Amino acid sequence: MTNDNIIEIAGKRLIRLSTFAEDMGLHIRTVQLWAKDHDMPVIRVGNQMLLDLDDIPEWLDRHKSKPVAYTVAKSISSASA
């Protein structure tokens, strides 16, 4: 992402969903579905959907997947307790 892709409004650094998708190697439709179904924090301006660069790390952190080995081990330990 270059500084040309960043939109500054009222001290906030925003990017378009398409820029985020491209930088993450995702299809734009995937990111649109995240915004619709997975509470991705978007700002709507007309027909544009923008992301605040400060909100992205927190959102990604909340939606991390736990490794399969961790999930299985936790299930086994709780089942034997």
Q: Bigger pLDDT: 65 or 69?
A: 65
Question: In total, how many domains does the chain have?
Answer: 1
Q: What is the pTM of this model?
A: 0.68
What is residue 69's predicted lDDT score, i.e. its pLDDT?
61
What is the residue range of 68's domain? 3-80
- Report how far Cα 71 is from the mean position of its chain's Cα atoms: 22
User: ∠ CA(22), CA(66), CA(38), 5° rounding?
Assistant: 50
As a whole number of angstroms, the distance between CA 26 and CA 73 comes to 31
**pLDDT computed for residue 70 by the predictor:** 57
- 34-54, pLDDT tens digit by residue? 888 888 889 988 888 999 999
**67 pLDDT more than 80:** no
Angle at 3 between CA 10 and CA 43, to 5 degrees: 40
> Which domain CATH number covers 41?
1.10.10.10
Most trustworthy range by pLDDT among 5-9, 23-27, 77-81: 23-27
